[in-house]
């Protein structure tokens, strides 16, 4: 295990729309930039977001919305930029999904550090626990292996770090086959997705389920866990002690049991938990080293961790 390594904390700021429950969920580029800075100051080293319509909050693929956020984050932080790989529509248009990456990468300062790619398809119907039935019965996130292959070719050409987002063990196995094909780098971050009761498309966030996901990847490789539509705080405790990394934020859960927290305040609670459990938290520079990503010395920096640590090369 890698429990001696600093903990990488990914802020997931606005994936789902929980603004009715918590008004701190950001929509506009300036709101997203504000949350990135808050998360960075609290201890996050990776920042993940979806471009949204500034008024309605609907997911958008507009290149301009992404570039404005990237510019703002680069001016104020050294966060590892990890935007969504474009909102997926029914046509699964590859060029539309990577359009903002191609645009950002024209400027060395703005280039995208990391994207998460799902390695399979899955149902996305929501469960109504009171009515005891699904709200819909035909919603599918379609991600064929041909589509994955085409995306990987572009991302490899662009030099973008690909995190393997896996909603089940079958998707982990699929990703490993893409590594054997030479289309996916063996230097990756495994993103394990767990889900709450609203969308039972992945394992529930239990310790046996987490251990099964860990056992499915090569020993010693870096992994991160998150809980879509669920409270990730209990999961975070296991992740911290087992040597993984954590993704958390208002994009997955509104955390109203803490009032109306912004993303920085959610990140602060995970950082406090890590310190209580005896694990340091990685700065973005340390996270880049752990993930074997190129350094970005030209960016603003946060105070380094006080702990000494060594990363196996």
pLDDT of residue 87: 62
Q: Mean pLDDT throughout 139-151?
A: 93
For residue 206, pLDDT over 80 is answered with yes
46-64 pLDDT, tens digit per residue, is 999 999 999 999 999 899 9
Where helices occur in 79-217 by DSSP H, the ranges are: 94-104, 145-158, 169-180, 207-215
273-296 pLDDT, tens digit per residue, is 999 999 999 999 999 999 999 999
pLDDT of residue 92: 62
Given a contact cutoff of 8 angstroms between Cβ atoms, the answer to whether 162 and 174 are in contact is no
For residue 103, pLDDT over 90 is answered with yes
pLDDT of residue 305: 45
Strands (E), the chain: 9-12, 46-48, 80-81, 114-118, 122-123, 127-128, 133-134, 140-141, 161-166, 189-195, 223-228, 245-248
pLDDT of residue 313: 38
153-180 pLDDT, tens digit per residue, is 999 999 999 999 999 999 999 999 999 9
pLDDT of residue 3: 60
183-200 pLDDT, tens digit per residue, is 999 999 999 999 999 999
* pLDDT tier, 1 (very low <50, low <70, confident <90, very high otherwise): very low
DSSP 305: P
CA distance 57 to 303: 34
- Average pLDDT in the chain: 93
Q: Mean pLDDT throughout 295-305?
A: 78
Neighbours of 175 (CB within 10 A): 24
């Amino acid at each position: 295990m890698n429990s001696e390594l600093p903990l990488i904390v990914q802020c997931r700021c606005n994936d789902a729309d929980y603004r009715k429950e918590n008004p701190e969920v950001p929509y506009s580029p300036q709101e997203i930039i504000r949350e990135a800075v808050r998360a960075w100051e609290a201890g996050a080293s990776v920042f993940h977001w979806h471009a949204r319509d500034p008024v309605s909050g609907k997911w958008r693929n507009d290149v301009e919305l992404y570039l404005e956020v990237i510019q703002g984050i680069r001016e104020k932080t050294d966060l590892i930029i990890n935007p969504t790989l474009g909102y997926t529509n029914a046509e699964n248009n590859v060029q539309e999904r990577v359009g903002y990456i191609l645009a950002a990468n024209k400027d060395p300062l703005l280039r995208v550090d990391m994207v998460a790619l799902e390695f399979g398809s899955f149902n996305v119907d929501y469960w109504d626990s009171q009515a005891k039935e699904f709200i819909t019965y035909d919603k599918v996130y379609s991600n064929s292996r041909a589509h994955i292959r085409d995306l990987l070719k572009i991302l490899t050409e662009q030099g973008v770090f690909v995190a393997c987002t896996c909603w089940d063990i079958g998707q982990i196995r699929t990703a490993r086959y893409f590594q054997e094909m030479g289309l996916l780098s063996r230097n990756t971050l495994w993103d394990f997705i767990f889900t709450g009761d609203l969308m039972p498309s992945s394992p529930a966030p239990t310790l046996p389920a987490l251990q099964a996901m860990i056992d499915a990847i090569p020993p010693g490789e870096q992994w991160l866990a998150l809980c879509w539509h669920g409270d990730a705080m209990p999961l975070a405790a296991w992740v911290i002690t087992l040597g993984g990394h954590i993704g958390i934020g208002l994009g997955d859960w509104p955390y109203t049991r803490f009032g109306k927290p912004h993303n920085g305040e959610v990140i602060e609670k995970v950082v406090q938990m890590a310190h209580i459990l005896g694990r340091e938290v990685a700065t973005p520079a340390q996270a880049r080293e752990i993930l074997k990503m190129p350094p970005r010395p030209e960016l603003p920096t946060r105070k380094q961790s006080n702990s000494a640590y060594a990363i196996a090369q």
